Amino acid sequence: MSQTDLDLPSATRTRNVFQTLEIDLRLLGMVGAFVVLCLGFDLATGGLFLTPRNIFYLTVQTVSVAIMATGMVFVIVTRHIDLSVGALLATCSAVMAMTQTQVLPHWLGLGFDHPLTPWLTILVGLLAGTLIGAFHGFLIGYLTIPAFIVTLGGLLVWRNTAWYLTSGKTIGPLDATFQKFGGINGTLGSTGSWVVGLVMTAAALFGLYSARRNKVKHGFAVKPLWAEYVLGGFAASVILGFVATLNAYHVPLRKLQSQFKARGETMPEGFTQAYGIPISVLVLIALAIAMTILARRTRLGRYIFATGGNPDAAELSGINTRMLTVKIFALMGGLCALSAVVASARLTNHSNDIGTLDELRVIAAAVIGGTALAGGVGTIYGAILGALIMQSLQSGMAMVGVDAPLQNIVVGAVLVLAVLIDILYRKRTGSA
């Protein structure tokens, strides 16, 4: 840091440091709010909130909403809304439950826990979700029915379609391999988690190196090396710290004994086994990377943000905004189906109330994550962080004994507050 920087007021120096690191102040504020939230609940629960066990379950519970929130970013960016995501999740869950318990055994003769069952089930679910989403997009894009009306109708239609598909019954237990996508029944263990953590750390560091090299290659300004080291160290610390935390949560002794007994073996004295990273979290990470690449590096992503920024100009420039709407809602439908895989696998069955109020949680996650309701602005990582904040808020309130109705009141109030903060922030920064 130069002598000139030292002569500046502390607030100005701090702002200059953040500018040098190229850190989004809004994102930093969200991270700060999340940290304060976690510390507050940890104090209120006597240190129970930040235990490895609770962090593991908090992570698993966040995945379903976070998956849909990544798609909701594109929907809101293009100045639409989707109120049917929870109901569509329920329909996709019902379709997959009936597929693996009724259709495949009776039509193809595949027995329970057949190796092909989970993959055919997921394929059917993704196809159903994508087609329903595309149908919504057609009604909105080509028939010009407002998205609010189409998806509000979809909320009623698909929630009750799910009920009729299963005759109002809970369907389960689901296929054992299928259940691995839910989290608790499918984890990597200690060794596998460390391998994934090291690979992710190496990928993050290589990404920073590649970005710096590309900037130098094309003559753009780059951050000082100390800033690169700080960002790289922070990324590595977060990734490896997360892996270490999940590995610190061990499988209960009784469950291990039952597993050994089922195999006809005797559990060795002092044997322990860590859960590690859930498979559902790996799915979310892979999806986050894919959606970020889609948003930043593809023509479709550029069209989405251009249309959200100025729909009339986008159409005049040759973008087929009607077909774009179909693609966005088809993608949203597919993500609802993927979320249904995770949600039903975590519960080990399909139930009638699956996905209830997820519409609120998904929209809130996207908005809290910085997606502007006016369109044109939004990030995938912001939506995932928003989903984590929402789930932390609900889990923390449940742990301190807040009633469910009051939890929903708080979540609704937080959503309104997040929109207000977003409006004030954009006015202050001139990005409104």
101 & 221 share domain: no
243 & 354 share domain: no
**Per-residue H/E/C for the chain:** CCHHHHHCCHHHHHHHHHHHHCCCHHHHHHHHHHHHHHHHHHHHCCCCCCCHHHHHHHHHHHHHHHHHHHHHHHHHHCCCCCCCHHHHHHHHHHHHHHHHHHHHHHHHCCCCCCCCHHHHHHHHHHHHHHHHHHHHHHHHHCCCCCHHHHHHHHHHHHHHHHHHHCCCCCECCCCHHHHHHHCCCCECHHHHHHHHHHHHHHHHHHHHHHHHHHHHHCCCCCCCHHHHHHHHHHHHHHHHHHHHHHHCCECCHHHHHHHHHHCCCCCCCCCCCECCCEHHHHHHHHHHHHHHHHHHHCHHHHHHHHHHHCHHHHHHCCCCHHHHHHHHHHHHHHHHHHHHHHHHHHHCCECCCCCCCHHHHHHHHHHHCCCCCCCCCCCHHHHHHHHHHHHHHHHHHHHCCCCHHHHHHHHHHHHHHHHHHHHHHHHHHCCC
What is the reported pLDDT for 13? 53
249 & 332 share domain: no
* pLDDT at residue 11 greater than cutoff 90: no
* pLDDT at residue 427 greater than cutoff 90: no
367 & 310 share domain: yes
Q: What is the mean pLDDT of residues 321-345?
A: 96
Query: What percent of the chain has pLDDT above 70?
Result: 93
241 & 143 share domain: no
What is the reported pLDDT for 408? 83
What is the reported pLDDT for 19? 59
pTM score, whole prediction: 0.91
Domain final position from 276, 294, 315? 276
53 & 150 share domain: yes
Which domain range does residue 101 map to? Answer: 22-179+278-429
86 & 198 share domain: no
What is the reported pLDDT for 23? 65
**Reported confidence tier of residue 419, pLDDT bands at 50, 70, 90:** confident
Q: What is the mean pLDDT of residues 9-22?
A: 56
Hey, which of 19-33, 58-72, 267-281 has the most confident mean pLDDT?
A: 58-72
* pLDDT at residue 166 greater than cutoff 50: yes
Q: Mean pLDDT score of the chain, rounded to an integer?
A: 88
What is the reported pLDDT for 8? 47
209 & 162 share domain: no
More confident residue, 30 or 192: 192
Give the total number of structural domains in the chain: 2
Q: What is the mean pLDDT of residues 298-327?
A: 93
Domain final position from 276, 296, 316? 276
**Reported confidence tier of residue 16, pLDDT bands at 50, 70, 90:** low
Q: What is the pLDDT of residues 199-248, one digit of tens each?
A: 999 999 998 888 888 888 888 877 788 888 888 898 999 999 999 999 99
27 & 135 share domain: yes
37 & 63 share domain: yes
Q: What is the pLDDT of residues 55-86, one digit of tens each?
A: 999 999 999 999 999 999 999 999 999 999 99
* pLDDT at residue 251 greater than cutoff 90: no
